[in-house]
Structure 1
Amino acid sequence: MKFTLRILSLVLIGLVLCCSVLADIVILKDGFILQGMVKRESVTEFDPVSKEPVVIPKGFYMVDDGARRIYFNPNLVRTLDKRDSIQEERWIHNKAIYIPGGKGAPPFWAEVEATDWDSKWERTYKYRSPVGVVGVFQHISNLSSYAIRVDATSKFVWSSMYLTQEIGSQKVISLIKSHPDFQNTAKVKPEEMASRRFKLVDFLAQAGWFEDSEKELKSLVKDLPEHKERCDKTQEVIDSLKGRERLEKIKRIIGAGRLAEARKQLDSFPMAEAKDKILTEIQSLQSKLEKALEQFLLAQKNLSYLSSALSEKKSDPILIKAIDILQKIITEESIDRLDAFLSISKQKTNDGTTATLVELEKTASLAISGWVMGNSAADPNPISAKRLWLTRSFIIDFIKAENSTLRKTASDSFLNKYPAAKPEEVGQVLLQTILPTEAKSSGKVFEKELLSGKSRGAKYSMRYPADANPNRLYPLLIVFPGTNESVDSMLEKWAPLADEYGFILLGYHYQIGGVGYAFSEKEHFAILDVLRDARLNSPVDPDKVFLFGYEQGASVAFDIGLSHPDQFAGVIPMSSTVLDIFIEKYWRNGQYLPFYVVNGDRSGDTNLKTRQLFTNWMPRGYPSIWTQYKGRGTEFFRAELPLICDWMRGKSRVFPMNQLGSDGGGSILGNEFQSTRFCDNQFYWIGSETINENRLNYAQSWKPNLQPASFFVKSDVATNNIIIKTYGMKNFYLLFGKNSKGESQIDFDKPVSVTSNLISKWNGKVTPSLDTLMETFLETGDRKNHVYAKVLIKP
């Protein structure tokens, strides 16, 4: 959406400047937008006959936006709109640079010192590299509304690119006003001076700094009133841009579940910004939000009346309690689950007749079953409604139970009431069951500690977004900070966007017993246990869990994501420092897991390893993109964060049930899942607890030539045949169940045949088990993907 706004700003400002045009627009299948010049890497070869150089397209496809190269897989593209290159407002500050015998700058590992930019657009810059601390003088030679080019003026031939947003509006304005165009202007004609000032106004608007643009415009019209007509037209353009940006932000707030805040902002929307299409969209959103609020208040009113009426007529206490709880947990966003209830209760209200106890209980049953199972499954049968509600109560008791004895007591009590309880129905109830918790202070970081289990004592910090509702599920972003950076510092960087887009932040203190990440099983178990705890005890959507890491933390994100790809919706490593050992071995495990990789092309060895990773991923259509900043090193690219949020917004975990990987017969052509640690032993619905010792590797004594164990499995639900290829393990197990879309690997009503490595290994009927469903849920905290049966396949 940020790119969309940029496109719009160039179009509208172009109406004033009559010079702005657009670049290519690539829309990926998940809705994410890339903008810039679409290119493909190439090689130059010489024609053997003519001896002329010939440029041959070869390598990655990319979008080049001036500051960055965004590499993408063409198979992920939905539409491509080819356009001319962007022409933006820019300031050139030329300087003759001569570096005799100049060489390329050494790789950039970390910034050491950077002085402020002076009035000559220069600074001193020092960074850490493989050869020690390197210091250079730098000069800004090109400053556009989107990107900035910085050239080294000493020692090295080195240019680097920055997004203008990285510098900030106040510093950019200061730089422009120190440009020769704004200095020594006594002999400049008034018309030329006005043109330069309008150029600054347009520049700031193109950069998205509308308040600064308006401030400069007001100063301009005050000093040059003869240009009032042009100023008025420019103000209209800025108002239009501000209105579009304001509206897009409101849409994001709505997506974050902050409907009251969205209504408030829509009601106070400045009229100058609300014109034409924007006004139409505002009115449409207001109408939808008012209808949702009206339905919500009506549901609250009718549920309150229903509770009182049921109590007065001595109805079943279970129904009364259920209705009382529904009043507390329903939300405006999910009010459509009560459509059947609202429809029948409205009819009774219009009839003006007093409902009988039977009618009241039927109405209550519609509310309960509709809420638990969805409106399409709303059932007026009180017996069914009670069963569903007691199922929900059982799930909550099971989660809260402190030990296996109490969990067994909860299960036995439930099965005594409903001995024929179906795991499938319990799973459906589980989808909608959120553990009742006290609302946490929105916008504040709080710390938690695991009090039990093998990772007891592990600590993590959480932050809920603004106006968080404990009865609504939110995406979760787990962040891993860089070396010498605190978790809270990283959470603070993400906090404003977490509020705007509506996601929970979790920062894990991953440095267990020392400094740095050790790629150890202990760390993996701790991170998965923290994830489990967050899923069980916080309103986390298991289908929308993301990993972000910076520098050393990026290596953590890579390792955890590739080792457990079935747990996450996406991984965002920024400036990773380690891309070998397990990450190098596990690249196939990313075939269903989207990655958004960010680094600088001057980061040295890790940039080369990133290219090698994508050399493996790109031809196979893996769902990942790579953003590479030109001339930059191992840095925190803050301007990338809003774009990452847009990318995350279109993502949900992929959990395939018909096939995992592809069989390459052990060759490089295959896409089998790889494991070389005991903690990386399960992928989606296949796993092994007996990986051969000769397939195991350890970071402290890494064996680069050791081949991991591998998994491939394919299921045909029509025939109930399962074909498996495994290498490097004694036995394996299959987890049968359903994903969040309701898809399954098999038909549970028919026998299943399992063939492993061309040998029939198992035949029989798979019986869904409530114990397996609940114990697996307790182990993972995953309410979206359900396991009904575990089948161990032995040699």
Structure 2
Amino acid sequence: MGFQMNLALRTLSLVLIGLILCCSVFADIVILKDGFILQGTVKRESVTEFDPVSKEPVIIPKGFYMVDDGARRIYFNPNLVRTLDKRDPIQEERWIHSKAIYIPNGKGAPPFWAEVEATDWDSKWERTLKYRSPVGLVGVFQHISNLSSYSIRVDAASKFVWSSMYLTQELGSKKVISLIKSHPDFQNTDKVKPEEMASRRFKLVDFLAQAGWFEDSEKELKSLAKDLPEHKDRTDKAQEVIESLRGRERLEKIKRIIGAGRLSEARKLLDSFPMAEAKDKVLTEIQSLQSKLEKALEQFLLAQKNLVYLSSALSEKKSDPVLIKAVDNLQKIITEESIDRLDAFLSISKQKNNDGSTGTLGELEKAASLAISGWVMGNSSADPNPISAKRLWLTRTFIIDFIKAENSQKRKGAFDAFLNKYPSAKAEEVGQVLLQTILPIDSKPTGKVIEKELTSGKSSGAKYSIRYPVDANPNRLYPLLVVFPGTNESVDSMLEKWAPFADEYGFILLGYHWQIGGIGYAFSDKEHFAVLDMLRDARLNSPVDPDKVFLFGYEQGASVAFDLGLSHPDQFAGVIPMSSTILDMFIEKYWRNGQYLPFYVVNGDRSGDTNLKTRQLFTNWMPRGYPSIWSQYKGRGVEFFSAEIPFICDWMRGKSRVFPMNQLGSDGGGSILGNEFQSTRFCDNQFYWIGSDTINENRLNYPQTWKQNLQPASFFAKSDVATNTVTIKTYGMKNFYLLFGKNSKGESQIDFDKPVSVTSNLISKWNGKVTPSLDTLMETFLETGDRKNHVYAKVLIKP
């Protein structure tokens, strides 16, 4: 279950005949501007000071805002909040397993760097844990003292004063049920009154339902009903409640499947939806979804039918082969999700079907032109002119040939052939066609990991693994999650952890084959080029949405994600570092580069030095309104927090890459108050639409000879379309370049029809008209694989 939905379900109050199923301990609901939901108690950190007169302690709010959900502190920027709903706290079902723990001269546990060994939890709710720390191997006995449907408190029973919190989902239903049934409440029950025993068993049913484990809850309820038939009314009511909750969960899963593009499966699930679970609003939503999906399918089948007929009629009347081939191809690449792009074509086809006429060749070609131009450019740009439609389709063919060309000579041949046919081809129109041109996948996606080899770029010959969602539609774009595993873990193992979520939420998984263990990540140019080449190859040859590329890393892999994200923020929609082990050098220098790039940072507050450095990072980010959150587990160390993944997937759903065209950073005049983009490494030389190939040597830093006090080169840029001026502030470079074009929203820095004035460091440096270049568009597309942000011109300027 997606945890955003799980949290929503947990806010319901459900009556189980005398028992109130209080589904959440959470008091407040925070909805961020991107739609992500935080639930818990809203707090702010504070400090204690003493009144100089009364000498009494005074608590003063100071520090980060957070949502405390019991197991975690989720730090957030209040500027990112859309709404806050304050509520009274509600109590959830829980089991207490008290144990007198006395630790003379107890001290805090050393930082937790890595789990070495952990026994299973026994019937006394205890285990032995061994972990690696700065002081060596640490062993400790642990005891579960509090087990609720949402979180678990674990206390050290020896050596240390140490409590740690787990999300109940981390243990899984099987282990949790086993623990509860070994609780004293379920032992030696001969003298327990029947009513009390029934209450305890109903409590277990409630608990499992609150945790979202509806099948287990229903199983326990059926057993209870069989053993205690005198409580039939109560069990029947409980069954209704469980069915209602499970129906809501089932519906939300179907919505996620629809969002992943698996419409056929969604229809099957809606048609087989259990009627006992389809009640009230759920039933209404089911009917609405069924109606929308059926209409989309009806339009899709109608479009295919009309395209088949149109192809036959065009062939019969000896129409242009390009139009016939285009119509044949449309039959294969149209999708239900984007069928509205063919509205104009379907409308005219319907008119012809109604009057029963076949149509003249001219009428048929107009219909074909509406289909081709509507699909390529969007229904609002559908054009019945066959000449325009043919040009658009041949543009699409050129783009595919350009991508698939085996070498630069063949690529040049494709480019020259296209220009010979259309010498006045405009970069803007080719860019529009580029948005809708997707290379077909070689075979039907089955959910298996595929190994690929880079055939071009600086890292030619390197290998990476890619996994498409099950039943992925090759004619739609998908988000991409690039994963970096921790020390001694394989890429494929990390892909396997994410695979179920990739299928349900609909995103492609990708992992690069280098060994992060051994000597570790080197923060080198070579490593950056390898990842960027891999990303470029995936964008070019797979249905990747460039506006929805995310990085995830665990442990050392988290440091890789941090470094890549902050070094190339214009390439990603979000970064998710989990339990990072290194947060210095370039990461420490580049914190300003995260001003438009959202981070979802996860760690434990017992992870030692990296937890302190994470706090320092957010101390820089929070006052400046950077779009990041920090999920911190209480009493935990460097661990893989598996129960966080559903939260992360929900966070990713609301994210698209931010690519600002009017301003990059803010000018601090070289002081610490600014938000200029920073570069101190050759491979980190471009940010959005400004870059430099000539950063001064005295601004460059190297991991082997790191100089902490060395100041990076910096970039600030601002454009004004109204006056067609660009203002630049740069430090530490010989020259810089500007990339003029359009982002995926159609926004540009300038008006290409008017002269442009560029001022650098208060001095006028360049004046002239910028002419969009098809050659520049295609070359930059080939270099990056980015089909959504188009570069029409590159202007080199010396400060």
TM bracket (short chain) = over 0.9
- Provide the secondary structure at the position in 1 that maps to 2:17: helix
Contact 1:8/1:241 (8 A) holds in 2 = no
Partner SS for 1:680: coil
Distance 2:669 2:22 in 1: 60
Classify the secondary structure of the residue corresponding to 1:643. Answer: helix
Following superposition of structure 1 onto structure 2, how do residues 81-480 of structure 1 map, counting pairs within 5 Å? 81-480=85-484
Once residues 499 and 441 of structure 1 are traced to their aligned partners in structure 2, the CA distance between those partners, rounded to angstroms, is: 11
With 761-770 and 429-438 compared, the bigger mean Cα shift is at 429-438
* 8 A Cα contact 1:11 1:20, kept in partner: no
Contact 2:12 2:23 in 1 (8 A): no
Q: State how far apart, in whole Å, the 1-side matches of 2:17 and 2:778 are.
A: 58
Cα deviation code 1:555-605 (max 9, x no counterpart): 000000000000000000000000000000000000000000000000000
506-515 or 770-779, which deviates more: 506-515
Secondary structure, in 3 states, of the residue corresponding to 1:16? Answer: strand
How many Å separate the matches in 2 of 1:355 and 1:36?
Answer: 65
Q: Distance in 2 between matches of 1:545 and 1:154?
A: 46
Partners of 2:215 and 2:226 in 1: CA distance: 17
Per the TM alignment, residue 19 of structure 1 is displaced from its structure 2 partner at its CA by 9.1
Structure 1, residues 107-157: CA drift from partner, whole Å, max 9, x if none?
Answer: 000000100111111110110000001000000000000000000011100
Cα gap change, 1:196 to 1:437, in 2 (>3 Å): closer
Please state how far the C-alpha of 1:654 moved relative to its aligned partner: 0.3
Contact 2:345–2:371 (CA<8 Å) still a contact in 1?
Answer: yes
Task: Classify 1:20/1:13 alpha carbon distance in 2 versus 1 (closer, same or farther; 3 Å).
Answer: farther
The Cα offsets for residues 275-313 of structure 1, whole Å up to 9 and x where unpaired, read as 110000000000000000000000000000000000000
Confirm or deny: 8 A CA contact 1:736 1:746 kept in the other structure.
yes
Deviation at 1:515, TM superposition (A): 3.9
Q: Contact 2:23–2:210 at 8 Å: present in 1 too? A: no
- Inter-CA distance 19–69: structure 2 relative to 1 (3 Å threshold): closer
8 A contact 2:44–2:66 mirrored in 1? yes
- CA distance, structure 2, for counterparts of residue 17 and residue 732 of structure 1: 63
Q: Evaluate the alpha carbon distance shift between residue 512 and residue 3 of structure 1 in structure 2; reply closer, same or farther with a 3 A threshold.
A: closer
Contact (CA 8 Å) 1:450, 1:457: kept in 2 or not? yes
- After TM superposition, give the deviation of residue 8 of structure 1 in Å: 3.2
Query: Counterparts of 1:592 and 1:784 in 2: how far apart (Å)?
Result: 17
Give 1:457 shift: 1.8
Provide the TM-score with structure 2 as the length reference: 0.98
Offset at residue 772 of structure 1 (A): 0.1
RMSD of Structure 2 on Structure 1 (CA): 1.3
Q: Is the 8 A contact 1:10 1:206 kept in 2?
A: no
Deviation at 1:513, TM superposition (A): 11
Gaps of 5+ in 1: none
Q: Tell me the number of residue pairs that the alignment of Structure 1 and Structure 2 aligns.
A: 795
Q: Please state how far the C-alpha of 1:685 moved relative to its aligned partner.
A: 0.1
Residues 768-793 of structure 1 deviation map (CA, whole Å, 9 limit, x = unaligned):
10000000000000000000000000
Cα distance, 1:11 vs structure 2 = 8.4
Residues 16 and 238 of structure 2 are in contact (CA less than 8 Å); yes or no, is this contact kept in structure 1? no
Q: 1:543-562 CA deviation, whole Å, 9 max, x = no partner?
A: 00000000000000000000
Q: Is the 1:9–1:206 contact (alpha carbons within 8 Å) kept by the matching residues of 2?
A: no
| Secondary structure of 1:17 counterpart | strand
Query: Shift in Å at residue 2 of structure 1?
Result: 3.2
Tell me if structure 1 keeps the 8 A contact 2:152–2:165. Answer: yes
Structure 2 CA distance for partners of 1:20 and 1:208, relative to 1, 3 Å: closer
- In the TM superposition, residue 409 of structure 1 has moved relative to its aligned partner by 1.4
From the superposition, tell whether residues 76 and 726 of structure 1 become closer, same or farther in structure 2 (CA, over 3 Å). Answer: same
Change (3 A) 1:15 1:373: farther
Deviation string 1:52-106 (CA, Å, 9 cap, x unpaired) is 1100000000000000000000000000000112310000011111111100000
Q: 1:315–1:357: 8 Å Cα contact kept in structure 2?
A: yes
Whole-Å separation in 2 of the counterparts to 1:344 and 1:13: 60
Cα distance in 1, alignment partners of residues 274 and 22 from structure 2: 27
Query: What is the Cα deviation at residue 451 of structure 1?
Result: 2.1
**CA distance 1:41–1:98, change in 2 (3 Å):** same
Q: Matched residues in 2 for 1:11 and 1:349: separation?
A: 57
Q: Deviations over 1:376-427 (max 9, x none)?
A: 0000000100010111111111111122222221111111111111100000
Cα distance between partner residues in 1 of 2:15 and 2:369: 55
Aligned partners of 1:14 and 1:20 also within 8 Å = no
C-alpha change, 1:417 and 1:497, in structure 2 (3 Å) is: same
Q: Secondary structure of the residue that 1:30 maps to in structure 2?
A: coil
Aligned equivalents of 1:343, 1:279: Cα separation in 2 = 32
1-structure distance, mates of 2:70, 2:497: 25
Whether the 8 Å contact between 1:13 and 1:20 is mirrored in structure 2 is no
The structural deviation recorded for 1:699 is 0.8
User: What is the Cα deviation at residue 437 of structure 1?
Assistant: 3.2
Describe the shift of the 1:14–1:20 C-alpha distance in structure 2 as closer, same or farther (beyond 3 A): farther
TM-score, normalization by structure 1: 0.99
- 1:452 CA drift (Å): 2.5
Could you tell me how far 1:22 is from its partner in structure 2? 4.7
Greater CA drift, 349-358 or 570-579: 349-358
Range with greater deviation from structure 2 (442-451 or 21-30)? 21-30
CA drift at 1:6: 2.5
Structure 1 residues 680-716: Cα deviation after superposition (integer angstroms, max 9, x where no partner): 0000000000000000001111110000000000000
Instruction: Give a deviation string over 1:180-228, Cα, whole Å, max 9, x none.
Output: 1111111111111100000000000000010110011011111111111
SS at match of 1:246: helix
Confirm or deny that 1:483 pairs with 2:487.
Answer: yes
CA distance in 2, matches of 1:686, 1:18: 54
The CA deviation at 1:40 is 0.1
| CA deviation map 1:459-505 (0-9, x unaligned) | 11011001111111100000000000000100000000000000000
Alpha-carbon contact 1:136-1:152 (below 8 Å) kept: yes
Q: 1:30 to 1:20 in 2, by over 3 A?
A: closer
In 1, distance between residues paired with 2:11 and 2:356?
A: 57
| TM-aligned CA distance change 1:125 to 1:651, over 3 Å | same
* Alpha-carbon displacement from aligned partner over 1:22-53 (angstroms, at most 9, x marks no partner): 51000000000000000000000010111111
- Does the CA-based 8 Å contact 1:125-1:138 persist in structure 2? yes
Distance 1:111 1:715 in 2: 51
Alignment partner of 1:636 is 2:640:
yes
Q: Per the alignment, do residues 512 and 492 of structure 1 end up closer, same or farther by CA in structure 2, a change over 3 Å counting?
A: closer
> Partners of 2:26 and 2:292 in 1: how far apart?
34
Partner of 1:663: 667
Q: Structure 2 CA distance, aligned partners of 1:787 and 1:8?
A: 50
Q: Within the alignment, does 1:764 sit opposite 2:753 as a pair?
A: no
Which whole-Å deviations, capped at 9, do the CAs of 1:347-402 have from their partners, x for residues lacking one?
Answer: 00001122000000000000000000000000000010001011111111111112
Equivalent residues of 2:22, 2:91 under 8 A apart: no
The sequence identity of aligned pairs, in percent, is 90
2:505 counterpart of 1:504:
no
Query: For residues 657 and 15 of structure 1, do their structure 2 counterparts lie closer, same or farther at Cα, with a shift above 3 Å needed?
Result: farther
Q: Which moved more, 1:417-426 or 1:740-749?
A: 417-426
Q: CA deviation at 1:21?
A: 6.7
> 1:425-449 CA deviation, whole Å, 9 max, x = no partner?
0000000001133234321001011
- For the pair 1:746 / 2:760, whether they are aligned, the reply is no
Task: Indicate the residue corresponding to 2:547 in structure 1.
Answer: 543
Contact 2:13 2:20 in 1 (8 A): no
- Cα distance change on mapping 1:513 and 1:779 into 2, 3 Å: farther
Matches within 5 A, 1:52-67: 52-67=56-71
Q: Spell out, residue by residue over 1:609-663, the C-alpha distance to the aligned partner (whole angstroms, 9 max, x if none).
A: 0000000000000000000000000000000001100000000000000000000
Q: Helix, strand or coil: the match of 1:715?
A: strand
Secondary structure of 1:678's aligned partner? coil
Distance 2:322 2:725 in 1: 44
**Compared CA separation, residues 572 and 11, structure 1 to 2 (3 A):** farther
**TM-superposition CA deviations, 1:232-261 (whole Å, max 9, x none):** 111111001100000000000000000000
Of the structure 1 ranges 104-113 and 506-515, higher mean CA displacement relative to structure 2 is found in 506-515
8 Å CA contact 1:43–1:57 kept in 2: the answer is: yes
Contact 2:728 2:761 in 1 (8 A): yes
Cα distance in 1 for residues equivalent to 2:603 and 2:78: 21
Distance 1:8 1:464 in 2: 36
User: Is contact 2:22-2:93 (8 Å) kept?
Assistant: no
Report if the CA contact (8 A) 1:678-1:691 is conserved.
Answer: yes
